[in-house]
Structures are given as structure tokens and as C-alpha cells.
């Protein structure tokens, strides 16, 4: 799958730049009509729920789970425990049980159905649920007994899933680990003698086998880079950030669970699916022409997922190609069904049937899909409150996805404008990564230092994939707008 362009905050303080960032984000939130604040009745209901969750009887606090997330994250949806099973594996994956706290129709549920998902950009999160739940009582924080949806996956020696079951259980995470910290363990620091060390040591082994299965299946993973911001005093800085290997291994456990959930629901013919249509052949042909223009070899017999796996996001021409390939990932959505499968069941980028179930603290629809799978594994009817939501959930998620995209783009534009506001008139080394289909004199560039992606115009056709010099014409923080011309 492709990665969104996300700004992560490495550091921020109370200086001028940080104040400008906060003020700009506040203006953006007002413009989009979103707020991190919740109505008083929602906060009150959340606090009451946090004090009195509905706890399951099954106790699996014996399993030494750990969470792996960005270091500052507190809304911890997933915890994992891995073990060998002969020449295969058992994956235990605990997912925060939001339904243990949120009842259908209560104020927290009603508000969550308005929001759809948490919005992330810089350090200004718009949460789906009040923090008393999402960052405390329902979060899988270390050394706390929590209700969870416990997925148990059995894998064969290749990493392929052979059996899945989900049930409610009490769990306890042993440690809140960061991606950077876990990567250092794999890179040489070792895992120590903690009771979770043997489990964690299997993550690379299972993750790499799952990645190999993804490649064999024809899954698509675009090498797009994140941007990371540091704000100190009156100084802004942006750098590109590549995903760590451990992030890809960890993501494979989530994907495994999403595939298993989809299998359960498709077999029973009731549930929800995340879908993406197959690419339009004309788009694939256009990408072949783009590859030729960039001087990249793409043999006619090579399928586009295999070609994408040859790309290196740090290479300018390859980055241009990866951005062009995002056109193949348009049209994703959700499908609800009860009794008859939808016309489209596949997620083409994953080359499989798939459903989100692993982030219920941050995404509304995961709670509903999780409840369907629980009912199916228990051989019980799917709750009516879940079935009745099928009519509205796909549109709710479409709307929240649009809001999420607008929020993220707005903050990216704000930060880039702030970073460049004192450099109007300067020239920068850049790479042309996109050219407008209708007007070849308009396109997009990436600048390596600082890590900027922005629009550019020229008096002649832009040379896709080529290194160029560009002049900064404007950087307006209030308007969140940056513009370059070919120098």
C-alpha cells in the first residue's frame, strides 16, 4: 500500500515558530470545522465509562504482550505476542476493546459517529474519542490490565495464515516500545532478558515472510517518504524520513489480521470490507510512458507491482515514478454487506480481501468490523446495532477520510510556508516529480534540503524526473501557500 505524506514532530518549543505553527493550525481547524475538544456530556460519559468498563471473563494476562508505536503515542490500539509452533508460528494480537467502554447510542458513540476517525497532523491531533478513553482507560498502556479483542492466528512455515480466532480477553502489555528502540534491538543492541524478548525476536522473521508473501501475491507498496518537522525558537526544519524495517514488519501483523477478518466475513456473507478497484489499464499504459520519459526500464511483461518494488524513494527519478504511481491507488472505499457479497470485494493494492479491524481507538469502522468477527467466531448472530449501522458507515468514513486528507495537507502547506517565509527570492536544487497532464508547464517538485514538496510553473514544458533549479516566488503562512518557478 502507499504511504501518506505525514508530518511528524521531532521537537517543538514555545518560540516564535512554534507559536506560528499553533496559530496556523488553530485557523485551519476553524476553517475545516474540527476540534480536539468534546462537548461536556461526551467527556462526562467517557469518564463514567472509563470507571466502569464491561470486562470479559477470559484472562490472558499471562501472555507477555508489547506495543510498538511512535515514541510519543498514547492511543495504543495493538499489542502483539509471537511464538513458534512447530515449524510455524502463533501470533497473538490484542486490539483495544472500545465496545467495553462505548455502548450503542451513548454520547461517546454518537460523537464518534460524527467524527469517523482521528485526524493527525504535526502534534495537533483531533481524536475520535476523549483522551480519558483513547489515551488512558481503553489504551493498551504498559502494566495495565485491559479488555481487548484477542486475535489468535496460526501460521505455517512460510508465514501464511492457516487458522484464526478472535475472542474477548483481559490482557496486559509488558512494555511500551518505540519503532526506533525496537529497530536498535534488531540492529545489534539485542533484546535483553525481559519475558517478551523471545516473542519480539520473531517479529523480523515473521514480518519478512509476510512481505515475501505480499510480493508473490502481487501487493503494492509505494516507496513514499514521510516528512518530519523540528521547531525550535524561531527556526523551522523539515527532513525526509524513511520507514524503518521494523515498521514494515509490524504493519504485516496488522495486515494479517485485516485479511483474516475479511475472510471470516466473506465466508459468512456479512460484514464490511475495505476495497480498491483494479487500476484502469489506461493509467497503467500512461505509467509505462512516464517510466520511458524518466529513462527507467519497465519490461512489458513485468507487472506493475513488481516494477514498483524496484523503485528507491531516495532516487529522484524513482521518487517521481512512485508519485506518478499513486494514481493507481485511487478509488478506495468501504462496502457493507449482509446476505449477498458486494460486486467488489478485493483491495487491489493488497491483492486480497481486507478489512480494517486493528485501530478502533482511531477509526470508527474498526469497532463495528471487530464486533462482526467476534459474533462469527462465537457462532452468534451479529448484533443488531452493528447491522443497522451498515447503511451509513461507508459514507461516514468517506467524509472523515476527506477531512483527514484536508487537515494533513493543510498542516503540510502551513509548515512549508513557515519554513520558507524568509527565503523568498532564493533558488533551490530540486527534482521535477510530477507534470500536469493538461498543462506541461505546471507540475510538482521535491527539494531535498529543506524537505519540501511543492507546485512549480515554467515557461516551457517541465522535464519530469530531471534535476532543476527553482526560484521561490512566494511563501505565505496565513494563506498556507508556497509557489516556485523554474529558474
CA distance 27 to 22: 9
* Domain residue extents for the chain: 7-277+331-416, 421-487
pLDDT of 14: 55
- From the list 352, 335, 360, 333, the residue with the least C-alpha distance to 166 is 360
How confident is the model at residue 446, as a pLDDT? 83
The stretch 463-478 carries a mean pLDDT of 91
Is pLDDT larger for residue 294 or for residue 127? 127
Scanning 421-487, the segments in alpha helix (DSSP H) are none
pLDDT tens column, 31-89: 999 999 999 999 999 999 999 999 999 999 999 999 999 988 999 999 999 999 999 99
What pLDDT was estimated at residue 283? 86
Residue predicted with more confidence, 313 or 117: 117
Question: For position 408, what pLDDT does the model report?
Answer: 86
Burial class (CB in 10 A: 0-12, 13-18, 19+), 182: buried
Cβ neighbours for 130, distance < 8 A, ≥ 6 positions apart: 38, 42, 43, 46, 47, 108
- Say whether pLDDT at 114 is over 80: yes
Which of 7-11, 231-235, 263-267, 412-416 bottoms out in mean pLDDT, i.e. has the lowest? 7-11
pLDDT at 11: 54
pLDDT average, residue stretch 352-372: 98
CA-based torsion, 92, 96, 101, 104: positive or negative? negative
Q: Is the pLDDT confidence value at 4 over 70?
A: no
User: What element of type H or E holds 318?
Assistant: helix 316-325
Q: What pLDDT is recorded for position 282? A: 86
pLDDT average, residue stretch 384-408:
95
Instruction: Report the chain's mean pLDDT, rounded to a whole number.
Output: 91
Q: Which pLDDT band holds residue 2 (cuts at 50, 70, 90)?
A: very low
Residue 172 pLDDT grade (very low, low, confident, very high; cuts 50, 70, 90): very high
- Please count the CA atoms within 13 angstroms of the CA of 247 that sit on its side-chain side: 14
Helical H runs in 54-189? 107-115, 131-132, 179-184
Average pLDDT over residues 336-347: 96
Q: Does residue 184 have a pLDDT over 50?
A: yes
CATH of domain 421-487: 2.40.50.140
Strand 161-178 and strand 65-69: pairing? Answer: parallel
Q: According to the model, what pLDDT value does residue 122 have? A: 66
Does an H or E element contain 429, and which?
A: strand 427-435
pLDDT at 8 over 80: no
Amino acid at each position: 500500500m502507499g504511504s501518506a505524506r505525514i508530518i511528524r514532530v521531532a521537537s517543538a518549543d514555545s518560540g516564535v515558530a512554534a507559536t506560528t505553527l499553533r496559530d496556523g493550525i488553530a485557523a485551519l481547524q476553524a476553517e475545516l470545522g474540527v476540534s480536539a475538544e468534546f462537548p461536556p456530556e461526551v467527556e462526562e460519559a467517557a469518564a463514567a465509562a472509563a470507571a466502569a468498563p464491561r470486562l470479559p471473563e477470559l484472562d490472558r494476562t499471562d501472555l507477555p504482550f508489547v506495543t510498538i508505536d511512535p515514541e510519543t503515542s498514547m492511543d495504543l490500539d495493538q499489542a502483539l505476542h509471537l511464538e513458534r509452533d512447530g515449524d510455524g508460528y502463533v501470533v497473538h494480537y490484542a486490539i483495544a476493546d472500545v465496545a467495553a467502554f462505548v455502548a450503542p447510542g451513548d454520547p461517546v458513540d454518537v460523537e464518534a459517529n460524527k467524527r469517523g476517525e482521528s485526524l493527525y497532523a504535526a502534534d495537533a491531533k483531533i481524536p475520535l474519542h476523549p483522551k480519558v478513553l483513547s489515551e488512558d482507560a481503553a489504551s493498551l498502556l504498559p502494566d495495565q490490565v485491559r479488555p481487548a479483542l484477542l486475535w489468535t492466528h496460526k501460521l505455517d512455515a512460510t508465514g501464511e495464515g492457516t487458522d484464526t480466532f478472535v475472542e474477548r480477553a483481559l490482557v496486559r502489555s509488558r512494555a511500551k516500545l518505540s519503532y526506533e528502540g525496537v529497530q536498535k534491538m534488531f540492529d545489534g543492541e539485542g533484546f535483553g532478558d525481559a519475558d517478551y524478548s523471545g516473542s519480539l525476536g520473531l517479529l523480523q522473521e515473521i514480518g519478512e515472510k509476510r512481505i515475501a508473501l505480499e510480493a508473490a501475491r502481487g501487493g503494492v507498496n509505494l516507496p513514499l517518504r514521510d516528512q518530519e518537522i523540528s521547531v525550535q525558537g524561531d527556526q523551522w526544519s523539515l527532513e525526509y524520513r524513511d520507514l524503518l524495517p521494523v515498521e514494515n514488519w509490524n504493519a504485516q501483523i496488522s495486515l494479517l489480521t485485516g485479511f483474516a477478518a475479511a475472510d471470516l466475513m466473506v465466508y459468512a456473507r456479512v460484514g464490511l470490507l475495505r476495497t480498491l478497484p483494479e487500476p484502469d489499464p489506461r493509467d497503467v499504459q500512461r505509467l509505462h510512458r512516464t517510466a520511458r520519459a524518466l529513462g527507467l526500464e519497465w519490461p512489458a511483461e513485468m507487472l506493475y507491482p513488481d516494477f514498483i518494488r524496484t523503485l528507491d524513494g531516495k532516487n529522484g527519478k524513482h521518487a517521481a515514478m512512485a508519485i506518478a504511481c499513486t494514481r493507481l491507488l485511487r478509488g478506495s472505499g468501504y462496502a457493507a454487506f449482509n446476505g449477498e457479497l458486494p460486486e467488489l470485494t478485493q483491495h487491489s493494492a493488497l491483492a486480497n480481501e481486507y478489512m480494517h479491524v486493528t485501530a478502533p481507538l482511531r477509526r470508527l469502522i474498526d469497532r463495528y468490523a471487530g464486533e462482526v468477527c467476534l459474533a462469527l467466531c462465537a457462532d452468534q448472530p451479529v448484533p443488531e446495532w452493528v447491522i443497522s449501522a451498515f447503511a451509513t458507515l461507508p459514507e461516514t468514513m468517506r467524509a472523515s477520510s476527506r477531512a483527514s486528507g484536508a487537515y494533513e495537507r493543510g498542516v503540510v502547506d502551513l509548515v512549508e510556508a513557515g519554513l520558507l517565509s524568509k527565503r523568498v527570492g532564493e533558488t533551490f536544487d530540486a527534482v521535477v516529480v510530477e507534470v500536469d497532464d493538461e498543462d506541461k508547464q505546471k507540475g510538482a517538485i521535491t527539494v531535498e534540503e529543506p524537505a519540501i514538496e511543492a507546485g512549480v510553473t515554467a515557461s516551457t514544458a517541465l522535464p519530469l524526473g530531471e534535476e532543476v533549479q527553482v526560484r521561490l516566488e512566494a511563501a505565505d503562512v496565513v494563506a498556507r501557500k508556497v509557489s516556485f518557478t523554474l529558474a
